[in-house]
């Protein structure tokens, strides 16, 4: 169900006839995706003028695909940002999309662009890009009763600019005997400081530099569409095997 979160346009109620100069009249801006979303969950569309949110709407994915996102704004160039795939993450103050404590990132697709508003009604089509990565971990030679936790320093996104937001991120999973397989969705990173904590009875036994392993592979968090990553770590050795979605190379070793 659609609901308007905020609408701060002072000129929306002005009446304009066809004989008047209509440059001061508001515009009905319709935002729709160029293709299917590739994800489920809610969609939040934000419209920004001069760094201020002038319109924002939260709606279901089907409504967004059907072109139901229509917001009236001043007739001037408007920055449009879209985040789709929101399921567990929380929206704060109309500005922040936050990953909840001990949760992974949602399957987010997003984009940012500028709509030139030159008419009474303008349709603006957006192409969304994958803004999360699946990190598939396989850890060998774990001690019995060992738990794993991935932590980092990005815990969400700035809705207005689509930028990663700095903050504490952590997501844990119980170990599974001498071998553990663990898939976690991580947000786009600002650097390469992701860490895998190996825990037993709440105490840290070892910290593995996942970020360094990913960096040494040549992977970039600046890519428009983030690729999924697979890492195999042997606790008895000082190197890991990594493979990246779409790369021609098979899994290759990286020292750490």
Domain count for the chain = 2
Whether the per-residue pLDDT at 164 is higher than 90: the answer is yes
Q: How far is CA 177 from CA 138, 170, 200, 203, 226, in A?
A: 12, 22, 12, 17, 31
Residue 28 or residue 146, greater confidence? 28
Give the residue numbers spanning the domain of 178. Answer: 132-255
pLDDT in tens, 210-256: 999 999 899 999 999 999 999 999 888 877 899 999 887 767 777 77
pLDDT band at 174 (very low <50, low <70, confident <90, very high): low
Whether 124 and 139 share a structural domain: no
Is 180 found in the same domain as 126?
no
Q: What percent of the chain has pLDDT over 90?
A: 62
**Same domain membership, residue 141 and residue 67:** no
Q: State the alpha helices, DSSP H only, in the chain.
A: 61-65, 210-216
pLDDT tens profile 70-80: 999 999 999 99
Residue 5 pLDDT level (bands cut at 50, 70, 90) = very low
Q: Angle at CA 214, nearest 5°, toward 211 and 215?
A: 85
Res. 175 pLDDT band, cuts 50 70 90: low
CATH of the domain at 63: 2.60.40.2100
Let me know whether 120 and 147 are in one domain. Answer: no
pTM: 0.86
Residue 114: alpha-carbon gap to chain centroid: 19
Same domain, 9 and 113: yes
Whether residue 40 is found in the same domain as residue 9:
yes
pLDDT digits (tens, 9 = 90+) for 33-47: 998 887 889 999 999
**What is the rounded average pLDDT of the residues 159-170?**
94
pLDDT at 39 (0 to 100): 82
Three-class SS of 140-203:
ECCCCCEEEEEEEEEEEEECCCCEEEEEEEEEEEECCCCEEEEEEEEECCCCCCCEEEEEECCE
Q: 157 with 126, same domain? A: no
Of 49, 68, 65, the C-alpha closest to 7 is 49
Q: Which of 89, 109, 130 is the last residue of a domain?
A: 130
């Amino acid at each position: 169900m659609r609901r308007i979160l905020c609408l701060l346009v002072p000129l929306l109620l002005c009446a304009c006839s066809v004989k008047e100069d209509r440059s001061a009249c508001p515009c009905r801006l319709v935002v729709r995706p160029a293709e299917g979303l590739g994800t489920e969950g809610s969609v939040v569309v934000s419209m920004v003028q001069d760094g201020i949110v002038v319109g924002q709407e939260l709606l279901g994915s089907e409504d967004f695909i059907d072109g139901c996102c229509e917001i009236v704004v001043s007739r001037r160039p408007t920055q449009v940002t879209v985040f789709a795939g929101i399921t567990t993450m929380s929206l704060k103050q109309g500005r922040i999309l936050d990953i909840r404590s001990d949760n992974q990132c949602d399957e987010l697709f997003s984009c940012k662009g500028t709509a030139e508003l030159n008419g009474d009604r303008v349709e603006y089509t957006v192409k969304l890009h994958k803004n999360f990565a699946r990190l598939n971990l396989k850890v060998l030679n774990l001690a019995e009763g060992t738990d794993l936790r991935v932590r980092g320093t990005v815990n969400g996104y700035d809705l207005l600019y689509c930028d990663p937001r700095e903050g504490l991120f952590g997501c844990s999973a119980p170990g599974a005997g001498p071998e553990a397989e663990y898939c976690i969705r991580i947000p786009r990173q600002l650097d390469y400081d992701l860490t895998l904590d190996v825990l037993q009875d709440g105490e840290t036994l070892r910290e593995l530099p996942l970020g360094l392993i990913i960096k040494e592979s040549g992977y970039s968090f600046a890519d428009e569409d983030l690729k999924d990553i697979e890492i195999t770590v042997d606790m008895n050795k000082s190197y890991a095997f990594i493979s990246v979605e779409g790369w021609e190379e098979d899994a290759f070793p990286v020292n750490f």
